[in-house]
A = this chain, B = another copy of it.
Amino acid sequence: MKSDHKMRLAAYYNPTGHHVASWRHPRAEADAPTNIKHYVDIARTAERAKFDLIFLADGNAMREANMEALCRSVQFVAHFEPLTLLSALAMVTEKIGLVATASTSWNAPYHIARKFASLDHISGGRAGWNIVTSQQDAEARNFSQEHAYEHADRYDRAREVVKIVLGLWDSWDDDAFVCNKDSGIYFDPTKVHILNHKSERYRVRGPLNVPRPLQGYPLLVQAGGSNDGRETAAQFAEATFSPHLNISDAKEYYDDVKRRMVKYGRDPEHMKILPGLSVIVRSTEKEANADFELLQSFIHPMVAREILSTMLGEIDLSGYSFDEPLPDLPDNDSGHYVSILAMARKENLTIRQLGMRVAGARGKNVIKGTPDQVVDYMEEWFLKGACDGFTIMPPYIPGALDDFCELVVPELQRRGLFRTEYEGRTLREHLGIPRPASQYASRRSRAAE
């Protein structure tokens, strides 16, 4: 059991929410993707509720889908770039952590190091980097390539890029800048380090032209379920957003990743595992269910079929009627294929029914109910050691976020499961994850032994 025994909460924001038809909900802000006022409001909402951090996902392309489905959808179409957005939000918040996604496939390590270091200084030590490898060919095509890198290659690159970025963040010792007007010395020249990284893929000399981040390193975040993904998490990640749908899968992941940390000499407490949870909470179960049905009613059948196709592993369903059952399909190694097929056969669902079912959750863990029901659920996962807290994914924003903050957070606090005030100042302090020493500092102390 953790020492302070409190959950950590991340607020994962898609512009209008995580439900595929979120933007049509009366309590969603339809023009959210480039409405800065909307983001200011929802950042402050999460900070008032004492969330540990805000998290923004990202991709470097418009999502690929057939146009008839895409034009009814807001997810990954066009929206603020997350780093510029979080910098802006740093100025209208004081405590909450700010985690942006950046791809190790499509960003030069020098730029990643620089921008996150800068955000860390601007925000007073609240930056985090969600490390992703980018699986979409659509992204590759915006960077002069045809295809995303292969899975193993992607993770090899990710590990190398992380290593370079950490090295660049250590370019300057914490006390390198003396700024002494009398002596005229601006920095201590013995406290700057040239990285000189050289491999087949990258030659990066350094030093970084930003002082060492306030947090030492911005928080390292990751979300990857494969063996490579778990291994990378165990090696580097200080928080993970895991996608498990039930407590036993979540606990398997939790125990596995924390066990893997040991071989990298890491303390399992120094990673917070925060499974995603999409919550619809109302004072009665009936209202919560009705709200979910309202969201479902906004899904166009075309969108439902598109998502079903994708989740079955890019199987083309456009030739079939909406009101037929799913046809016999070739086998497929998509993670969702088996469970979706089982659901379809068991309940004898039409393509339309199955599509709506799948589209409403899209692989997320969705829970609807009263404040007590939601908190019971969260408490069980937490106390049984399936997580260190949750990544809250409001199905529509701001409405469902407001509900969570007004109804769930106070109950979590009442039960002593969540903070009532920020204890620290930096994101690492919120999460209880120590500030890393520079790799040069440990070399120095080893040399002195």
The verdict on A119 contacting chain B, using a C-beta distance below 8 Å, is yes
Q: Cβ of A315 < 8 Å from any Cβ of B?
A: no
Residues of chain B with a CB closer than 8 A to A179's CB = 23, 30-31
Judge if A189 is at the interface, Cβ distance under 8 Å: yes
A residues 128-151 touching B (CB-CB < 8 Å): 138, 141-145
Q: Which of A106, A171, A203 counts the most chain B CB atoms within 10 A? A: A203
Report the separation of the CA atoms of residues A84 and B142 in the bound assembly, to the nearest whole angstrom.
Answer: 22
Are A36 and B121 CB-contacts (below 8 A) given A78-B210, A186-B77, A207-B62? yes
Shortest CB-to-CB span from A449 to chain B, Å, is 28
Residue A337, interface by CB 8 Å: no
Which of the candidate stretches A67-75, A242-250, A378-386 sits at the interface with the other chain?
A: A67-75
> Contact check: which of B78, B122, B184, B187 meets A298 at CB < 8 Å?
B184
For the complex, is A59 an interface residue (Cβ under 8 Å from B)?
A: yes
Give the complex CA separation of A152 and B87 in angstroms.
36
Find chain B residues with CB under 8 A from A412 CB. none
Q: Is A188 an interface residue (CB 8 A)?
A: yes
Residue of B nearest to A80 (CB): B118
The answer to whether A209 has its CB under 8 Å from any CB of chain B is yes
What string of 1s and 0s marks CB contacts (under 8 Å) between A18-59 and chain B?
000101101000110110100010000000000000000001
Instruction: Give A176's nearest chain B residue, CB to CB.
Output: B78
Question: Is A88 among interface residues, defined by CB-CB distance under 8 A?
Answer: yes
Residue A417, interface by CB 8 Å: no
Interface string of A68-108 (1 = CB under 8 A from B): 10111110111111011101111110000000000000111
A84-B118, A179-B30, A211-B78 as given contacts; A142 in contact with B185, CB under 8 Å = no
Task: Report yes or no: B300 in contact with A184, Cβ–Cβ below 8 A.
Answer: yes
Asked if B110 contacts A72 (CB within 8 A), the reply is no
Query: A263 to nearest B CB, angstroms?
Result: 31
- The residues of B that contact A59 with a CB separation of less than 8 Å are 209
Q: Which of A67, A71, A83 has the most CB of B within 10 A?
A: A71
CA distance A81 to B21 in the complex (A): 37
C-alpha gap A108/B112 in the complex (Å)? 13
Partner of A144, one of B31, B71, B203: B203
Q: Which residues of B contact A435 (CB under 8 A)?
A: none
Say if the beta carbon of A111 comes within 8 Å of chain B. Answer: yes
Chain A contact residues, CB within 8 Å of chain B: 21, 23-24, 26, 30-31, 33-34, 36, 40, 59-62, 67-68, 70-74, 76-81, 83-85, 87-92, 106-108, 110-111, 114-115, 117-119, 121-122, 124, 138, 141-145, 171-172, 177, 179, 181, 184-189, 192, 201-211, 298, 300
Using A61-B209, A83-B87, A141-B203 as known contacts, list a sample of 11 further A-B pairs with CB atoms less than 8 Å apart, ordered by residue number in A: A24-B181, A31-B179, A34-B121, A71-B186, A72-B185, A77-B209, A80-B121, A84-B118, A108-B142, A184-B298, A184-B300
